[in-house]
Structure 1
Amino acid sequence: MKKQIIIALAIAIGSFSFAQKKELKAAEKAIKGKAFGDAITALNAVKPMLESLDPKLKDKYYYLHSVALFADGKGSDEDIDMALEDLNNIESSYGSEKSALKTQMTNDFLQKGNKNYEAKDFGGASKYFEKTYDLNTKDTIYLYYAAATAVSVPDYDRALVLYNKLKDLGYTGIQEEYIATGKEDGEIEVFQNENLRDLSVKSGTHIKPATRKTESKRGEIVKNVALIYINNGDNEKAIEAMKEARASNPDDVNLILSEANVQFKMGNMEEFSRLLKEAIEVDPNNAELRYNLGVIAAEAKKPEEARAHYEKAIELDPEYINAYINLSALILGGEQALIEEMNGLGNSSADNKRYDELKEQRQQLYRDAIPYLTKALEYAPKNINAAKTLMNIYSILGETDKYKEMKARVDEIEAAQ
């Protein structure tokens, strides 16, 4: 009697296995015909007995279910999240198929993420960049993109979660770049690889080939975390985040600058100034640091301090184009106060005298800006902003020949763009 029961059960189990194989084949056929809904229906019939399948068939189920849910990128957000879970459940079989599907999904997510970013749909872009990271957890750059675009939404709560995940992973974002300087425009260009850079140098379009490391994004991440806390009204957590980061890297200039930025946002100007001085002490001969300090000082409405930093940046690196441009902008920034006073004057002889004085001061500002803009164009001949600003200055100063010369240059640059 017992023997008959054992035989009966064996037959029953065999029939179940046969039915499951049949449904898996039906799902596979439906997927080949792009009938993803039919494939899911067939796979749903297998799901209740999934644990009874042997490992290879179980892997096949997860693979087919993932493909059907993804539906060539047409699946819903919920379906795609489930598809990603299915991929993670595949253990030993279907390795090449899994890899091919991951590649297809990655390309789809990146295409959609970039498209959303270009359309300024930062929420959609952030979502797809995060999914790209979920597929390729070693490529933490996509998690960084997800966080940065979440800030642009702005969706600070989501950005905070993503940034904290990056912090926990120890993400720095430091990469090696292959660079060379364009012969015509004087601009440093980054190449995808060493071969492309060397080919450009060999062809004569570029000079000064070099390799450099990108700056760490650790400071930016911690700064953004702190700024989100400030935005949420939690200044204590903001300071705590900065102290935590600096405790492990006390001499990291980027972190010092980030903390300075946070202190500035909180209105702590004394601490802001102290941190700027600390950054200079750590790296006094860093032209880029001096330039960034100039930018921060300019934003803090400290023009003299900003000017000193820009001039120091130029002293350390005579070809620092942005320092020349920012210096000219800093000088021209004094124009607005003169214009407002000029417009507020009356018609008395004293007012007319004052008007002439202010007019001369305004023209002197233009003359003071000219050397810096000229230098910028010397190192970057196709810098349209510098060229247009010079053209307008010569027009206002009545220097007709120089105006015509610069206008021709502006037209030439614009025609080439």
Structure 2
Amino acid sequence: MISIGAFAQKEELKEAQSYYAKGKNQEALAVLKKIEYQILNAPDEVKTDYFFTKGNVYKDLATKNVDAASNFALASAAYQDVLLYENESRNYKYAFKASSALKEMKSKLVDGAYNDYKIGKFKESADKSYEVYLFDKKDTLNLFNAASSSLAGKDYSAAIKYFEELRKINYSGKGMVFYATNKKTKQEEVFISMSARESSINEGLYEKPRNFNPPSKKEEILVSLGFSYLERNDFRNAEKYYEDGLKINQDCLTCCLNLAYVKVQFRKEIQDQMSSLGTTASEMKQFDKLDAQKDEVVKSAIPYLKKALVIEPKNENAVKSLLGIYRSLNMTKEYNALKGSM
């Protein structure tokens, strides 16, 4: 026997579904929010009706690119509630449709992130990629895409968050990529697995299969972290990640150049301390000590610049920086030798 409360909820759900069918998503959401507090105590059938309708509304908003990343997350949560309650009740009314909707949304959001990136909407691209990653954390490429998009959009806080997460899960990006050429479009496309590609080839839709094993992304992640911290004037963390990058690749030119830059920035910290000192005997002694430290800090940049010139002998930034350091430290012999070799 159905209760009066459950009957009323069903009627309001029909109203929400009617609004959704007419494309009036905001009106549908208003009805759903009105009865939300009643749903936990509702019969399982009403719960699944409610969450399936909620998922559909948020999915439609996400598909129309209305706050896509956020609405994707809300739709995903609603569809997963459908699966949860139907698994508990063993009454599978919407399970297949909910699972299909989740896969469809993931595909559309990945496409949306790619399209946003192409037109320079980097934040929107990053948000979408990260939501896809949260939905399926085994698909770590989406986390890498979120980090890369944030870096491209100069959102260094988000870039650090995502690259740090990649580092913690030991992401390398390595793994076989499966390509084949679409016979109709003549364009090469990527497949999620070898079996998926073979199936398409057997159907006569694709040809010219090839495999590609991409290089590790670990160096790129560390360099990107170094750069992001550098842009935020966090020189200590920048130094740490550039040094880690050099451990992976001793010929990392970017690491060498930016480590030299970071070392010189440390000199400014010491100069600020020197400027704050007075003229007492103890302070003058401290001044001389800091002055010596300042020169040693600057000297510590020299090996990195020399290494940069081994990697790329004509690098203008390395030559200019090294000449500047030699001049500031009165290293006339070294200055003239470098100047003469140009």
- Asked if TM exceeds 0.5, the reply is yes
Give 1:101's aligned amino acid.
A
Show the 5 A alignment for 1:6-85. Answer: 14-72=3-61, 73-74=63-64, 75-76=66-67, 78-85=70-77
Match of 1:264 in 2: 257
State the distance in 2 between where 1:179 and 1:20 align: 50
| 2:145 aligned with 1:140 | no
Match of 1:222 in 2: 222
Q: Closer, same or farther in 2 for the Cα pair 1:179/1:125, shift >3 Å?
A: closer
| 2:225 aligned with 1:192 | no
Q: Which moved more, 1:148-157 or 1:51-60?
A: 51-60
TM-superposed deviation, 1:84: 3.7
Show the 5 A alignment for 1:6-405. Answer: 14-72=3-61, 73-74=63-64, 75-76=66-67, 78-90=70-82, 91-93=84-86, 94-177=94-177, 192=190, 211-242=211-242, 252-253=248-249, 256-258=250-252, 261-267=254-260, 268-271=301-304, 293=311, 299=315
State the distance in 1 between where 2:313 and 2:211 align: 30
Q: Closer, same or farther in 2 for the Cα pair 1:136/1:298, shift >3 Å?
A: farther
Q: Structure 1 unaligned runs (5+)?
A: 1-10, 181-188, 200-204, 278-292, 304-417
Query: What secondary structure is seen at the aligned counterpart in 2 of 1:96?
Result: helix
TM-superposed deviation, 1:124: 2.4
Cα deviations by residue, 1:103-154 (Å, 9 ceiling, x for unpaired): 3322332333222222222222222222332333221111211111111111
Identity of aligned residues (%): 17
Q: Closer, same or farther in 2 for the Cα pair 1:210/1:38, shift >3 Å?
A: closer
TM-superposed deviation, 1:16: 0.7
Give 1:26's aligned amino acid.
E
TM-superposed deviation, 1:243: 5.6
Cα deviations by residue, 1:42-77 (Å, 9 ceiling, x for unpaired): 322321212102345324322211221232523335
State the distance in 2 between where 1:76 and 1:121 align: 13
State the distance in 2 between where 1:54 and 1:299 align: 71
State the distance in 1 between where 2:189 and 2:26 align: 44
TM-superposed deviation, 1:274: 5.7
State the distance in 2 between where 1:36 and 1:96 align: 23
Q: Structure 2 unaligned runs (5+)?
A: 87-93, 181-186, 202-206, 261-300, 320-342
State the distance in 1 between where 2:9 and 2:136 align: 32
TM-superposed deviation, 1:174: 0.9
CA contact (8 A) 2:223 2:245 kept: no
CA contact (8 A) 1:178 1:190 kept: no
Provide the TM-score with structure 2 as the length reference.
Answer: 0.61
Give 2:173's aligned amino acid.
G
Give 2:75's aligned amino acid.
A
CA contact (8 A) 1:175 1:214 kept: yes
CA contact (8 A) 1:257 1:276 kept: no
CA contact (8 A) 2:129 2:145 kept: yes
Query: What secondary structure is seen at the aligned counterpart in 2 of 1:142?
Result: helix
Give 1:76's aligned amino acid.
D
CA contact (8 A) 1:110 1:129 kept: yes
Q: Closer, same or farther in 2 for the Cα pair 1:62/1:168, shift >3 Å?
A: farther
Give 1:64's aligned amino acid.
T
Q: CA RMSD in A?
A: 3.7
TM-superposed deviation, 1:244: 6.3
Give 2:238's aligned amino acid.
A
State the distance in 2 between where 1:56 and 1:168 align: 42
State the distance in 2 between where 1:56 and 1:166 align: 41
Higher RCO (CA < 8 A, seq sep 6+) = 2
Query: What secondary structure is seen at the aligned counterpart in 2 of 1:266?
Result: helix
